[in-house]
Amino acid sequence: MTELIDGFPAQVKKALEIGRAATLTKPTAGIQNILISGLGGSGIGGTIAAELVASKCALPVTVNKEYFVPAFVGEKTLVIISSYSGNTEETLQALELAYNKGAKIVCVTSGGKIADFAREKGLDLIEIPAGMPPRACLGYSMTQLFFILSFNGLIDNYYEADFEIAHTLLAEQGDSIREKAMAIAKSLNGKLPVIYATPGYEGVAVRFRQQLNENSKILCWHHVIPEMNHNELVGWRDVNESLAVIFLRHKDEYFRNTHRIEYTREVATRCTGTIIDIWAEGASDIEKALYLVHLTDYISDYLAALRNHDAVEVNIITGLKGMLGDVKN
């Protein structure tokens, strides 16, 4: 896993080459809404991308993480199917349902049944390199979502320069990122992480939570400020030094949320002494998001090593898929 995370900056660079070379077709009907369907390591790119384009895309973007598709899906819906393996059963069923409803479909996958379906039905298909854990291929899969939206006239091509700069930022700051990650991983060892982000960065917080789950083999939770100030904040009552609070920060966060973070910190400090700020680097939203993803990926990997766990192993999920393979109806 460490080698895969090391390769993330180069993966972003390669993803741009794949997106630029992709062959896509124009929709026959005017697009009115967008659905990105995918789960786990394949789906989190949709969650992050939907937030990153919220200020750029005039149409609503819905992220779907289940077997079915919303009722609004039809011939004026752009449906992006994201499954790294191409065999995710929930996403495969959602693909078939979207196809039957006449949606404009683009598939992003490394192969499998979804690639076969796309070729059989003449759907747009972007293939990304195979042979890795899906969660280690976020750079490949998420970048393609921007190309798809741009090709369909839903955003302009601003993102290409942002991804290029992000690649350079991550490559140049590699040593610093790894050093920060190790220090934070040591602080989290033996703790239950509680991750807080602000609007626009919930996807990054979810990604961090998922990586701690899969790589580090621990439980944790996340929430978003200001929403958590209306509910979860009241739950901070009892001293519990097993908790570690992590704030995902960036210099452009809304000033009222900054004050909320400081108040939340004061409340949480009464319960635990482990409070960590993780600051994003970069100018654009894409740079900042990728920086945080890269840094927190390392944290999850280093924490796995500190806990003597194999970061790649996900036998319990493999077991679930095996069980479901035997379910007929």
Q: Render the burial of 273-310: b for 16+ CB within 10 Å, e for the rest.
A: ebbbebebbbebbbbbbbbbbbbbbbbbbbbbbebeee
Element holding 277 (H helix, E strand): strand 275-279
In 3-state terms, what secondary structure has residue 22? coil
Q: What is the 3-state secondary structure (H, E, C) of 23-40?
A: CCCCCCCCCCEEEEECCH
Indicate which residue of 3, 120, 230, 328 is catalytic.
230
Cα gap 272→143, rounded to integer Å: 38
Q: Does 214 qualify as catalytic in the annotation?
A: yes
Q: Cα-Cα-Cα-Cα dihedral of 103, 109, 113, 115, to 10°?
A: 70
Q: Which residue has the tokens 């460490």?
A: 2
The reply to whether 96 belongs to the active site is no
Smallest CA-to-CA distance from 171 within 294, 54, 65 is with 294
Is 230 among the residues known to form the active site? yes
Helix (H, G, I), strand (E, B) or coil at 196: strand
User: One of 90, 202, 214, 287 is an active-site residue; which one?
Assistant: 214
User: Which among 121, 251, 259, 321 is annotated as catalytic?
Assistant: 321
Q: Annotated active-site positions, please?
A: 214, 230, 321
